[in-house]
Amino acid sequence: MPPEPSAAPPPSAASDAKRLLRLARVGALATIDGAGGAPLTTLVGVASDWDGSPLFLMSELARHTRNLAADSRASLLLTSERGRGDPLNRPRLTVGGAVAPQPDATSRQRYLRRNPKAGLYASFADFAIRRLRIETIHFNGGFGRADALSVADLLSPTGDVAALAEAEAGLLQEVQSLGAKAISQLAGVPAGRRVWRPVGLDAEGFDLSSGGFSARVDFSSPALEPDAWRERLREKLAASAAR
C-alpha cells in the first residue's frame, strides 16, 4: 500500500520557490485578451513587494494593461537564470491571481531599485505600478519535482513593515559598507568575479544585483524591526565567515 502524501511540502521546495519569486526580474504574463477571450502572453519586468507579491510597471497603453482593466485575472511564469543544460530541468514558478493598481510609493521604489533602467520611462504619465495578489501556485523544481505549495508557503509573513520601509535606505547602505568581499561571501559567490550591490530588503533577507545577475541572502528567521534585521545580518555574516 503506497504511503499517504505528506501534508507539508519539502522545505527545500518552498525555499526554492520563494527565492525564485524574489530574484526574478522578468516574467511571462498571461492575460485574457478582450478582443476574443483568448490568452495573451507578454514579457514584463518584475520586482517583489514586501511580502514577495509580484510588482509590475505597466503602461496604460499596453495591450495587457487594457486586458487587465476588463478582466483582472492573470498568470505569471517566472524562470531561473539561464545556464547550461536542459532549461526544463531548472526551477520555474507560475503564480496566478488578480492584478490591481498599487499606489504605495514604496512599491515604485522597490521596482526601480531592482530594475533601474526602467527609470528612463517610469515618470511618464501613463506608467503605474500594479501588483499581483497571489491566489494559485504551480512550482516545478525540475524533472520529478512538481511540488504543491500554498500561498503561506510562498509569501513572507505579514506584519507591519512601516519601520523597516522607513529604514530601508539606511540598512542597504550598511550592507554596502561591508565591502565587496563580505558581500560576495553573503551571496555565496567567489570574491572579485562580480561586484554585488544591495537593491532591496524585506523581513526575510535582502536582494543583491550585479549587472544582469541577481542573488539573494536569506535570514534564518523574519525580522520586521530594523534592530532585529541588523541582528539577523550579523548572524548571517558570522555564518558566512565561518564557511
Written as nine digits, the cell of 125 is 504619465
Domains defined along the chain, listed by start = 11-154 (2.30.110.10), 162-242 (3.20.180.10)
In whole angstroms, what separates CA 154 from the centre of its chain?
A: 10
pLDDT tens figures, 111-153: 999 999 999 999 999 999 999 999 999 999 876 677 789 999 9
Distances (CA, A) of 169 to 17, 24, 188, 199: 26, 21, 23, 9
89: pLDDT strictly greater than 80: no
Q: How far apart are CA 97 and CA 235, in angstroms?
A: 36
**Band of pLDDT at residue 102, cut at 50, 70 and 90:** very high
166: pLDDT strictly greater than 50: yes
The strand pair at 205-210 and 197-202 is best described as: antiparallel
Q: How far apart are CA 8 and CA 69, in angstroms?
A: 36
3: pLDDT strictly greater than 60: no
| Least confident range of 54-63, 68-77, 149-158, 162-171 | 149-158
Can you give the pTM of this predicted structure?
0.89
- DSSP symbols for 221-238: S---SHHHHHHHHHHHHH
Residue range 189-206: mean pLDDT, rounded = 86
Q: How far apart are CA 57 and CA 83, in angstroms?
A: 27
- DSSP symbols for 53-82: -EEEEEETTSHHHHHHHH--EEEEEEEPPP
9: pLDDT strictly greater than 70: no
- Could you identify the residue written with the cell 541572502? 217
More confident of the two residues 98 and 11: 98
8 A C-beta contact, residue 218 and residue 204: yes
| Least confident range of 105-109, 154-158, 173-177, 203-207 | 154-158
Task: Compute the mean pLDDT over every residue in the chain, rounded to the nearest whole number.
Answer: 89
